Amino acid sequence: MTADSKSGSRRGETALVIGGTGPSGPFVVNGLVDRGFETTILHSGNHEPPEILPEVEHIHTDAYDPEKVGSALGGRNFDVCVATYGRLRRNAELLAGRVGQFISVGGFPGYQGYMNAPLFDPPGMPTPTREDGLRVNDPSQDEKGFRIARTEDLLFEAQPNATHFRYPWVYGPRQPAPREWSFVRRVLDRRPHIIVAEDGLSLSSFGYVENLAHALLLAVDQPEKAAGQIYNAADQEVLSIRQVVETIARSMGHDWEIVSMPWEVAWPARPFVAQPWTTHRIVSIGKLENELGYRDVVDPHEALARTAQWLTENPPEPGGTEEMVLQDPFDYVAEDELIASYRDALARVAEPKWTGGIEPGYGLAFSGPGGRARSNPTFE
């Protein structure tokens, strides 16, 4: 059946969320409550987001220990289970025959090329990568990616009608690896410039917490359509690193110079790219859009502004866990030395004299700024 979140048509049904306290968790949990579900979350108890509604039942246990999960749940059955945390395969097996709808969350690293671009020749994932794209099929290609792909197979063996979402890097409040902090902290420190690699043009699919929760809840609302399906989930608009840098700075009222360097020497930009290559990592979400009607509920530019605001109000500890995870040293002395050295090198590069008398151009098909002039002085 199709449920409307305000109609209460799922009232009296029960929902279990394994996890529910991570970045997108409160939006999922509260969305279930809004739909009328009697909602229970199973999690460690180490984090209790204040956004979660008070009527939600909490079960505290180790979601990675199947015996503890089984003991904590007893013989309870649920109409819906949303598994966002813990040992997915084992929890799917544990709840086989005990849930009406099983929805799970995995990740993009199961795709070939996501964590190991040279698996393709030339390097880089196909753009965009669809749900039927090649997955990691050998641990030697990428051990983590292989485990993710294998878990998907075992999930559907235990729960043939499951709906599985492949998540991107998530951004928003409570993200334990907040890429945006690399930019926000530099703005707060009033840096006059920031170094990016290759003009910051690398593209990678990301997902704002509220958008990803919305995608998942669309499957709750349309169980028949979603049964047995795998969906990529991400923001509809894919922003380049440069666009992220500019959007965050603008939202914080900061103006800085973006210094572009070749990847080989743009060492401070490594945490922004988050891989040893500048290849794109873009997935198609056309299936999610066409089958479940997904549309972003928060525009990515606004989502980045909200994320920047949250990080400003809840800054990670300098040198703390988040910065260690990002591997961003925020070494401004070294960055300034690099910029000075790079500019000195550029100043010593002279444009050659083009022996044929013709300078390289943009092609006669280009009619933008600096391109082909109008053939007629007036337009009729």
Asked if the model's pLDDT at residue 189 lies above 60, the reply is yes
Please report, for residues 56, 57, 75, 207, 232, the alpha-carbon distance to residue 107 in angstroms, rounded to integers and kept in the order given.
27, 27, 30, 11, 9
Please report, for residues 65, 335, 350, the alpha-carbon distance to residue 264 in angstroms, rounded to integers and kept in the order given.
44, 15, 21
What pLDDT is stored for residue 371 in this prediction? 82
Does residue 151 contact residue 88 with C-beta atoms inside 8 Å? yes
How is residue 7 written in tokens?
A: 């109609």
How is residue 377 written in tokens?
A: 């002085």
Confidence of residue 334 (pLDDT cuts 50, 70, 90): very high
Confidence of residue 377 (pLDDT cuts 50, 70, 90): confident
Does residue 308 contact residue 163 with C-beta atoms inside 8 Å? no
Q: pLDDT for 151-173, tens place per residue?
A: 999 999 999 999 999 999 999 99
Please report, for residues 254, 256, 278, 299, the alpha-carbon distance to residue 201 in angstroms, rounded to integers and kept in the order given.
21, 17, 8, 20
Please report, for residues 37, 80, 120, 174, the alpha-carbon distance to residue 12 in angstroms, rounded to integers and kept in the order given.
6, 12, 50, 31
Q: Which CATH architecture has domain 96-345?
A: 3-Layer(aba) Sandwich (3.40)
Q: Provide the strand spans (E) within 202-321.
A: 206-208, 230-232, 257-261
How is residue 267 written in tokens?
A: 């060492």
Q: What gap in Å lies between CA 133 and CA 110, rounded to an integer?
A: 10
4-8, 214-218, 240-244, 297-301: the lowest-pLDDT one: 4-8
Could you identify the residue written with the tokens 């490594």?
270
Q: What gap in Å lies between CA 71 and CA 123, rounded to an integer?
A: 47
- Domain residues of the chain, as ranges? 96-345
Q: What is the mean pLDDT of residues 243-253?
A: 98
The model's pTM? 0.93
Which amino acid, 228?
A: G
